[in-house]
Structure 1
Amino acid sequence: MDYHFFKESPFKTLISFHKLIETLEEIASTNVDYRSNYAKALLEEIEPFPEFRTGIEDFNLIHNNETLIKYLLADLFPTALTNNEIKAVTIPFQNFTFNYTERFKKILHNAGATFDMAIRDFDGNQFYIMNCILILNTFYNQHFDFNKPLFYDIPDANGIMKHYRILYNADFMEIIPTDKAIKLTPDDIDLLMDNYDNIDLWKEKFPNKSWILKGFGIVSLFDASIESAISNLKSNLLKSETEQADNNQNFETIFRSIFKISDLKIGLIIYNEEDEKFIKPPYDDKKIGSFILNDMPEVDCKNALFGCSLENILEQNKPFVISNVKKFATTPGNEKLGEHFLRLNIQSCILAPVIKNDKLLGIIELVSAKPRELNSVNVNNLDLILPYLVDTLERYKNDMQHQIEAIIQREYTTIHPSIYWKFRREAQKYFQTNNPNKDYIFKEIAFKEVYPLYGQIDIKGSSEHRNETVKEDLRKQLKTLLEIFESLKSNTNLVLLEQRKFELQSFFTELNSPLKADTEQQIQRYIETEIHPILNNSKMDNECQILVENYFKKLDEKTGMFYHSRKKFDNAMSIINKKLASILDKKQVEAQNIFPHYYERFKTDGVEHNLYIGASIAPTKVFDSMYLHNLRLWQLQTLCEMELEHHLLKSSLPYELDVTSLILVFSSPITIRFRMDEKRFDVDGTYNARYEVVKKRIDKANIKGTKERITQKEKITIVYSHNQEETEYLNYIKFLQFKKILEPTIEQFEVEELQGVSGLRAIRVKVINYNKEQITENYSYQDLLDELN
């Protein structure tokens, strides 16, 4: 095992047995013969080695005289306990040990020859400061409390890591200042107390090798995987909220035992990252409160109460320590927070962040009515506690989040992320103020002054295609049944058989006419009730039996009917909808970077979408009309990409289908309101309803004075009302024509009058179907302006 010494130390270390030798000299002068003779003999043995008394600097002297040193230390290392105790001589905090007990030797042997024993999470800076604290406590009679346990992690013979707690006995050590030692004032000591992490300051006050550490220490180890206080803390944190309320005093007792502060109190605040606020847990008076918030339910992180004092917590995620609140309050900028604590009789405190995966979950508050009780030294004791608090606080936040989600799901619906904040705020109010004896009236959620964008890609003639596939399947099924009945030779009543053949032929002939709403259901019901019983109960020859078996194999399991043509059509519809919806959803995530906006889309016979953008959607951001123009250009580009994707997809579809695209432009801001009874958003007000009327009727409209639909395959139709909308979209179109996305020809026409709506106009332009790379590149409104200029 190699020995790795820390290079810098406030001590010059001299291993010396002088205190032990002095004790032996006293024993040698007594009248107890066996003790006196033993001491005299031992003193005679060590006489050739004056370094044993003056101090050993060459450690080879120790290795060369192991047996002699063992005899010298026999009273401290009894032979009877050597197989029980894990003990050795050491220099405190250094990785140098000798004179092991037999049990210690066995542990090191099992760890293997390559094992390097080092203190866990203990670096050179900690080593230096710990030695300085040893000087402060011993020479300056201070009471710096550093309770952070030190551990050796040592694997056993099976490779299982064992954790041993380290205890030091420094009774045989002496601390002596040299000429280089600096005499400290009370102010120096206070400064050190408040600056545990400032290694340069400690080295300034305790220069390298400015003190002498003379003597030896004894290290004792014991297996301490779970210590009593931590075990109690874990048990308390695992209890239900009700049990924690009843045992809050026990919870504080655990903290007091760790920090050794009799009046220690604890508090907690939760960090709401979404709103950048600290909020009080919704606990009653019996549970943990907050000293920062006191009677306030929440406070903004940028509130003047905090000022720059909590910069460590909010930005650096480090504990904030005030060892003397009265002194802290006299510093400019700290007055409000200091006076706030003084009003609560808090004289020292620690505000420590609880962090999981680099995210702040909350702040644990430790306070005392005595100054200097809590300081930058004993703040390190939190390392014992925080791992358990992290899991507990994360579990609490998750539970609260689940309850809020449950409220939203129950009272509202699944909400788009851009507007989730408003629903969450209402649910938060319920969660914090809910009184079980009083009904809470949930407010309707509304967003005022938002600009709507509507677009759709519709599968052209989907109803006609669907009807044709229904008729095709029915014809095939009826024809198959007629063939079976022609070959059916059985004891079946011939008159009944002829009657059923006549009825099947009548249905077959009826399919030559336009399909009525209930034709499919009539034929299906007839076949199931009149035809299938005959096929299942008639006796027939082998040839006919094979025809019947093949017929039943062709039936769809769910409908009991032929489903071949309709299946191709439905699969083609599904493929188109899935592909186009995936493009829209993917592009929409990118569009949120333009400006947060509400988005919803629906799959019907195609894909349609609604967008709403405005200041009320994202009140923390500054809204500008530039964002609306950007989103409109984005929408037009996205429909171009969806059109092209369909063109590339069409040839591989099981059933060839064309699509048409439509954009509705509406420049007047509207209000949308969440309908509590219907669990969905809808426009609000009579005037705004005009927008919904146009949406529902426009896709089936014709060009004014003709029978031609305003939408055509592979073309995008833009419907608008005002001249400025026309100018805006013509600019978009010309820009995309320049980028080889749209074809040069532009059609413009009036839209026929719809019920209650007139004066609509439209632009129609075709998408170039060979330039996918150019279409998938996103252009912004600024790109357009740059091009125009």
Structure 2
Amino acid sequence: MPDYQVGLYRHYGVGFNSDFVTVKVVGEPPVLTPEQLDALIHNRQQAELWLELLPPEHFELEGFNLIQLVDVTEQEILSELKYDLLEHNVLQTPARFEQIQEKLRVLFAQPSLQLGIAAYDEKKRAFVDFGRKINHSFLTKQVQHQSADSSFRLIYERLLREREPLVLKNVATADIPEDLREQIIGLGINSAILALLPYGNDTVGLLELGTLEVGGLDEFSLDKVAQFLPLFAVAVKRNAEDLQTRIHSIIREKFTAIHPTMEWRFMDAARNLLGQIDAGNRTAEMEPIVFEEVYPLHGSCDIRGSSTARNEAIQGDLIEHLTLANKVLKKRRTTSTCPFWTS
């Protein structure tokens, strides 16, 4: 049902109470055989059968029914989120991401609520944009393009250190750096919640919730956040693994064996290629892998033609040994009186 006060909708469960209804028989009650009673019990949904065996004109209902509407919005939204986040690449599809954001708006009754997701790279020890077509994070992108880089990183380091969600009930008075406060308010966010996405002992990402209303998100909102936080963690983990699988597939297709110390550069190139392909550039090519002004102190190499030279050397050794063996046999034949050596 629509909630016109906040401009969203709510889910209600309907309960019926007929305790105050009395059924009276008019005239002679219908007489039913055991077979007919059994047919009614096993065919509760067949209205025609009931109307035939129990004609309505033989009964009267007196009293009143109670119909109660119970708000089940929270249970319904959480159930839908669980189903949605099990879908493949749901967080990388703009339309599906918008649908999830809309459901969270209903859950918190905040029409202006914004959802942000950033994946966390354990190797780089940094939050990265999730997906390639759109940037789902409304905060981490500021790190890359704004002057508040160090301030944002302080917040993320605090989250990683304390392992507890950060609640900014009123961004204007929150205990955060001034430049960071201005950046967040400039995004149209006056209250926010930042929470890590844990997967076992690892951190796979960051969940961001922000709203225009001051106090729209507070400590009481954490109870709802805790219910769907694991769902987002599983979705981010699964999508990150799918992305890694695609990257390794491109590396296996484009290159031969890669030394582990240089693998990171090839993975970055493969990730950039996927970004171009997902952006619609079907003719995109792998960028050149070049290490400018890098001089290795130690490395492994392969000499061109070494396998052929090695095979020719082995062949020469065999010929030399067979030639010497032949000379020995011929010498033995000329000096031996054994009849077995006569020609």
Indicate the TM-score class for this superposition, using the shorter chain for normalisation. 0.5 to 0.7
Any idea what the Cα deviations from partners look like across 1:408-464, whole Å, max 9, x if unmatched? Answer: 222223323222222222223323344524433421233722213679xxxxxx948
Q: Secondary structure at the match of 1:440?
A: coil
- SS of the counterpart of 2:140? coil
Q: Is 1:289 matched with 2:165?
A: no
Hey, what's the Cα distance between the residues in 1 that align with 2:102 and 2:219? 21
**2:83 corresponds to 1:235:** yes
- State the number of aligned residues: 241
Task: Show CA shifts across 1:452-497 (max 9, x none).
Answer: 3679xxxxxx9489959x98xxxxxxxxxxxxxxxxxxxxxxxxxx
Change (3 A) 1:257 1:453: closer
- In structure 2, give the amino acid aligned to 1:377: F
Alignment partner of 1:442 out of 287, 291, 302 = 287
| Counterpart-to-counterpart distance in 2, 1:380 and 1:299 | 33
SS of structure 2 residue aligned to 1:345:
coil
Match of 2:13 in 1: none
Deviation at 1:403, TM superposition (A): 1.4
Q: Deviations over 1:282-316 (max 9, x none)?
A: 3435xx6211034776899x931315333332223
Q: RCO (CA 8 Å, sep 6+): is it higher in 1 or 2?
A: 2
1:314 is the counterpart of 2:154: no
1:449 aligns to what SS in structure 2?
coil
Shift of 1:348: 0.3
Could you tell me how far apart the structure 2 residues matched to 1:421 and 1:273 are? 13
Matched, 1:406 2:249: yes
| Structure 1 counterpart SS, 2:195 | strand
Against the structure 1 CA distance between its residues 433 and 454, is the aligned structure 2 distance closer, same or farther, given a 3 Å change threshold? Answer: closer
Write the letter of the residue equivalent to 2:274: F
Cα distance in 1, alignment partners of residues 300 and 262 from structure 2: 18
Structure 2 segments unaligned to the other structure (5+ residues):
1-16, 20-71, 302-312, 328-343
Q: Deviations over 1:677-736 (max 9, x none)?
A: xxxxxxxxxxxxxxxxxxxxxxxxxxxxxxxxxxxxxxxxxxxxxxxxxxxxxxxxxxxx
Which residue type is aligned with residue 445 of structure 1? V
Query: Shift in Å at residue 363 of structure 1?
Result: 0.6
Residue pairs, 1:689-704, within 5 angstroms: none
Could you say which residue in structure 2 is the equivalent of 1:359? 202
Q: Judging changes above 3 Å, is the alpha-carbon distance between structure 1 residues 231 and 372 closer, same or farther for their aligned structure 2 residues?
A: same
Deviation at 1:362, TM superposition (A): 0.9
The one-letter amino acid of 1:267's match is G
- Where structure 1 has 5 or more consecutive residues not aligned to the other structure, the ranges are 1-77, 81-223, 456-461, 472-509, 515-789
- Measure, in 2, the Cα distance between the counterparts of 1:404 and 1:378: 38
Q: Distance in 2 between matches of 1:336 and 1:326?
A: 11
> Is the 8 Å Cα contact of residues 279 and 297 (structure 1) preserved in structure 2?
no
Q: From the superposition, tell whether residues 419 and 441 of structure 1 become closer, same or farther in structure 2 (CA, over 3 Å).
A: closer
Aligned pairs for 1:45-124 within 5 A: none
Q: Is the 8 A contact 1:320 1:350 kept in 2?
A: yes
Q: Retained in 2: the 8 A contact 1:290–1:365?
A: yes
Q: For residue 397 of structure 1, what is the aligned residue in structure 2?
A: 240
> Residue in 2 aligned with 1:256?
105
Of 114, 118, 127, 1:278 maps to 127
Partners of 1:396 and 1:295 lie apart in 2 by 23
Instruction: Classify the secondary structure of the residue corresponding to 2:295.
Output: strand
SS across alignment from 1:304: helix
Matches of 2:215 and 2:140, distance apart in 1 = 23
Change (3 A) 1:433 1:439: closer
Q: Does 2:270 correspond to 1:427?
A: yes
Between the aligned partners of 2:223 and 2:288, the Cα distance in structure 1 is 47
Q: Secondary structure at the match of 2:139?
A: coil
Pair 299,352 (structure 1): closer, same or farther in 2 beyond 3 Å: farther
Superposition pairs of residues 173-252 of structure 1, within 5 angstroms: 227-241=75-89, 244-252=93-101
The answer to whether residue 172 in structure 2 is matched with residue 326 in structure 1 is yes
After superposition, where does 1:491-640 map in structure 2 within 5 Å? Answer: 512-513=325-326
- CA offsets 1:620-660 (integer angstroms, 9 cap, x no match): xxxxxxxxxxxxxxxxxxxxxxxxxxxxxxxxxxxxxxxxx
Q: Structure 1 454/281 Cα, relative in aligned 2: closer, same or farther at 3 Å?
A: closer
Q: Flag the 1:443–1:465 CA change in 2: closer, same or farther, 3 A.
A: closer
- Give the Cα separation in 2 of the matches to 1:290 and 1:354: 14
Q: Which amino acid aligns with 1:271?
A: Y
Rounded to whole Å, the distance in 2 between the matches of 1:268 and 1:298 is 17
Equivalent pair of 1:278/1:299 in contact (CA under 8 Å):
no
> Structure 2 counterpart of 1:238, which letter?
L
Could you give the per-residue CA deviations for residues 303-357 of structure 1, whole angstroms, max 9, x where no partner exists? Answer: 31315333332223221111101112xx5x5112211111111000011111112
Partner amino acid for 1:262? P
For the 8 Å contact 1:312–1:319, the answer to whether it is kept is no
Residue 773 of structure 1 is matched in structure 2 by none
TM-score using structure 2 length = 0.60
> What is the match of residue 380 of structure 1?
223
Partner Cα separation in structure 1 for residue 142 and residue 161 of structure 2: 26
Partner residue, 1:614: none
**C-alpha distance in structure 2 between counterparts of 1:270 and 1:299, whole Å:** 19
**Counterpart amino acid of residue 268 in structure 1:** I
**SS of residue matched to 2:219:** coil
Partner Cα separation in structure 2 for residue 467 and residue 430 of structure 1: 51
What amino acid maps onto 2:281 in structure 1?
P
**Which residue of structure 2 lines up, in the alignment, with residue 452 of structure 1?**
298
The amino acid that maps onto 1:264 is L
> Letter of the aligned partner of 1:293 in structure 2?
T
Please tell me whether Structure 1 or Structure 2 has the larger radius of gyration of its CA atoms: 1
Q: Which amino acid aligns with 2:204?
A: L
Counterpart residue type for residue 285 of structure 2 = Y
- With over 3 angstroms needed to count, the CA separation of the structure-2 counterparts of 1:449 and 1:390, relative to structure 1, is same
The SS at the match of 2:164 is coil
Inter-partner Cα distance in structure 2 for 1:336 and 1:511: 87
1:417 aligned partner:
260
- Cα deviation digits, residues 29-88 of structure 1 (max 9, x gap): xxxxxxxxxxxxxxxxxxxxxxxxxxxxxxxxxxxxxxxxxxxxxxxxx9x8xxxxxxxx
Counterpart CA distance in 1 for 2:251 and 2:289 is 12
Write the distance in 2 (CA, Å) between the matches of 1:245 and 1:361: 20
Which residue identity lines up with residue 392 of structure 1 in the other structure? A
**Deviation for aligned residue 1:281:** 1.9
RMSD: 3.7
Counterpart for residue 339 of structure 1: 182
The one-letter code matched in structure 1 to 2:287 is F
Query: Structure 2 counterpart of 1:325, which letter?
Result: V
Contact 1:422 1:445 in 2 (8 A): no
Calculate percent identity across the aligned residue pairs.
Answer: 21
Give the direction of change, closer, same or farther, for the CA distance of 1:403–1:261 in structure 2 (3 Å limit).
same
Rounded Cα–Cα distance in structure 1 between residues aligned with 2:282 and 2:215 = 46
Task: For 1:453 and 1:255, locate their aligned partners in 2 and report how far apart those are by CA, in whole Å.
Answer: 53
